[in-house]
Amino acid sequence: MVKYEKIGFPDRPALSESLQKTVGKYVYDYFLEKERAPVMEEIMEKFHMDRMTAHQVFLGIEQAHNLSLVPGTQRILMAHPFSAIATPFKVTIGSKTYYANCAWDSVAFHVMLSQDIRVDSFCHHCAKPIKFNLRHGKAMSDPPEPLVFLSMPASKWWDNIVNTCSNNMVFFSSKQHLAEWQASNPSATGEALSIEKTVELSRPTYATRMELDFSRPPKEELMQRWAAIGLKGDFWKL
């Protein structure tokens, strides 16, 4: 973990982007090392902040789509791809275990850390276990061809990111199970991706996610990079 100095920030109006990035980086490093989210009080103690200042920093990071708080609280819910609560998307890296926010985020751990990972999840249709290992962008899975299904278009993802991750980015064990589920849910349209395609989808957003100066690519750049891997059309418009 990066060493962080305890620094006082007395001027609340002058809360800077640099400070938000420093605290955001600390949150990600903490998740990675401790397998859980830091609580507000740990941030306050680490950086010598009062509660109001720390909360303002959290809100700034959240506004940049690099953090999500439990609605109405000062507690971290998501720091993509990390989830602060148990989900159906468990990721194992060496001796450490994490929860991802959604099917896509579970795959994104591989891109973010450039490490081999194991994912244990479930088919959204039948709850059959889905297990796969990712190494060098390639998956070895059981069942052999699981799918990541995104049922909400890209332009809507951040309207309610908790709903998007919890209900609209899931695994199916096969094309058949996706078709059966859609037959019972005819309004649920979307895009189904292989694990390998989801790895490629993740690269623009997650390859530099652990860097101090990380920022999300502009919308135009994201769409161009998605189009380069064949993800085109209205669904992928931001």
Residues 200-234 have pLDDT tens digits of: 999 999 999 999 999 999 999 999 999 999 999 99
Q: Is pLDDT of 139 > 70?
A: yes
Residue 5 has a pLDDT of 47
* Strand ranges inside the chain, DSSP E: 68-69, 76-79, 82-83, 90-93, 96-99, 117-122, 129-135, 138-142, 147-150, 169-172, 191-193
> Amino acid identity of 17?
E
Q: What is the mean pLDDT of the chain?
A: 93
Q: How far apart are CA 220 and CA 19, in angstroms?
A: 27
> Amino acid identity of 132?
F
Residue 11: alpha-carbon gap to chain centroid: 32
Q: How confident is the model at residue 13 (pLDDT cuts 50, 70, 90)?
A: very low
Closest CA to 104 of 89, 114, 85: 89
Q: Is pLDDT of 8 > 50?
A: no
Q: How far apart are CA 79 and CA 82, in angstroms?
A: 5
Structure tokens at 102: 């959604």
Q: What is the CA radius of gyration of the chain?
A: 18
Residue 167 has a pLDDT of 93
CATH number for region 83-236: 3.30.450.410
DSSP state of 158: G
Neighbours of 174 (CB within 10 A): 18
Please report, for the chain, the start and end positions of each structural domain, with discontinuous segments joined by +: 12-79, 83-236
> Amino acid identity of 223?
M
Q: Is pLDDT of 135 > 70?
A: yes
Q: How far apart are CA 132 and CA 139, in angstroms?
A: 6
Residue 133 has a pLDDT of 98
Question: Can you state the angle between helices 17-34 and 40-47, rounded to 10 degrees?
Answer: 120
CATH number for region 12-79: 1.10.10.10
Residue 188 has a pLDDT of 86
Give tens-digit pLDDT for 42-66.
999 999 999 999 999 999 999 999 9
* pTM, rounded to two decimals: 0.92
Q: How confident is the model at residue 24 (pLDDT cuts 50, 70, 90)?
A: very high
Q: How confident is the model at residue 15 (pLDDT cuts 50, 70, 90)?
A: low
Q: Which residues contact 130 (CB under 8 A, 6 or more apart)?
A: 119, 120, 121, 122, 123, 141, 142, 143, 146, 171, 173
